[in-house]
Structure 1
Amino acid sequence: MDVEYEPVSVKEVLAEMKDTAELLIDLSYSAVLLGSTEVAEEVLGLEERMDVLQMQARMSLLMAARNPADAEALAPVLGVVGAAEKVSDAAGDIAKVVVEEVGLPESMRTALPDAVEALVPVGVSPDSQLAGTTLGASNIETETGVRIIAIRREGSWLLNPANDTRLEAGDVALLRGAEDGLATVHERLCGQPYERPAHSESTTDDLARAMDSVVLMKDMSELAVDLAYGSVLYDSEALAEEVLELEAEVDALQSRFEAWILQAATEVEDPVALRGLVHLATATEVISDAAVEISEGVLRGLGTHPVIAEAVWESDEVIVRYTVSPGSALDGATLGSATVETETGMRVIAVRRGRPEETATAGDSDWVVSPGPETRLQAGDRFVAKGTRSGAGRLAELAGDEPPDAG
């Protein structure tokens, strides 16, 4: 479609681009999980929408730059725009694995639920306590950390449903979240306990390693994007350095993946069926590269333009940073024992031990990235979490810190 310049709010465009990019990642992998051409086509449609958004953002930023100082201040914003577009393109490449029927081992579909946040389709039973309830009233995401990213109803998909979207008997809800929360929501929706799909026993060792590496690359790339947005939101060089480390680890994983997939090609009957895995690994590595682009302004000492921080705050899922206060509910507690995710819907993505960030030097990081249920917090620790605004308020109470605001 033709795109012409029109005055738009750069903040609103950036927020929409962030939300769309994150939805695209979820839906592209969901298309692979479900083997669904319909979901994949929706991804390609959203990719076209992203193309329009990035053109609108670029034109508005060019109009805003009147002198060298403006250009320097707006350069990081252009980096965020370009990175979101790169994520969009990568998601489109993943979707094309399904649309173009590129070969993919069936066992890859059973490997995806092993991700840190699994993707699971579940039908809504007529007897479900949630049937007829809006997503806002059910409070699923805030209470469990599980997000319904799409709903299939009467043969079509409703993407990124809102708080006023009502669940109906016969719907198929596509869930994303950690296993504990998934088990709770799964049983509330269909009345049956959640069970991970069984892995194919016919998978060779090299192919299993290749698939595991793709899943790990997916987790690390998504974490890198989250940390990158956190780095620009809080102008944190330490977080930006962690993004660089994650991108380097993804690169190393891709190198090992290439060795394993070449070895696996000699062991399977149809090596062409492995092409899809190569597409997934390549696209996932691009997402980690995009994360570095998001945080590049911080890494280069250009700082963060206020419009980026405001856009990150106004997106669907907020990113917050808190300090654990002495005597608070989190002081001395593990993330699991405090049931942070199931009580608040917030996912803690990084923890920094003790000392103030200002005293850290580049490359000298005390960040614990992607902490697990066993990670113990102490007074003075700072952590970054992602989730809903209402969940952010609950988490602030547990930490004994101030609730978040747009500043």
Structure 2
Amino acid sequence: MVKLDETPLPGVGVRYDFDGRFGKRVGVITHRDGRREIFVSRRDDPDACAQSIVLSDEEAEAVADLLGGSTITRHVSKLTQDIEGLAMDWVNIPGSSPYAGKPLGETMMRTRTGTSIVAVMRNGQAVPAPGPEFRLQSGDTVVVVGTPEGVVKAAKLLEGGDVR
């Protein structure tokens, strides 16, 4: 029987993972905003993610159906979080972002979405608490904190979409 580990990720969601048969760790992160992320990592370092795929609601349902569904799927839909009303997510800056190459302050993130960028990951290095002069680059991953709705708006804003 597979031993499934459940790890609360305060402000993010819940991580479910297990040791796979061929030396890999396989899991799903269920984000507070409902997104599901499938990942594969090394067994000896479960935080060293080798591959991840973010699924839409429809894609997650299709994969669950293909795999036969389980009690985990029902359990995940009923999750409550440790910090009500607070969400945190990692958002990738695509090359098509209107903010790639621009200072963080030009996003007007807090004013437009009610969220804050609390860190930026660049080339495997964390830049905590970047100031408004910090220039975003294509390929950066920003850590956004705010309400679940605000985090969704922030991702849309950074990807070049409408946040209304």
TM-score w.r.t. length of structure 1: 0.22
Structure having the higher strand fraction is 2
The higher radius of gyration belongs to 1
TM-score w.r.t. length of structure 2: 0.49
Structure having the higher helix fraction is 1
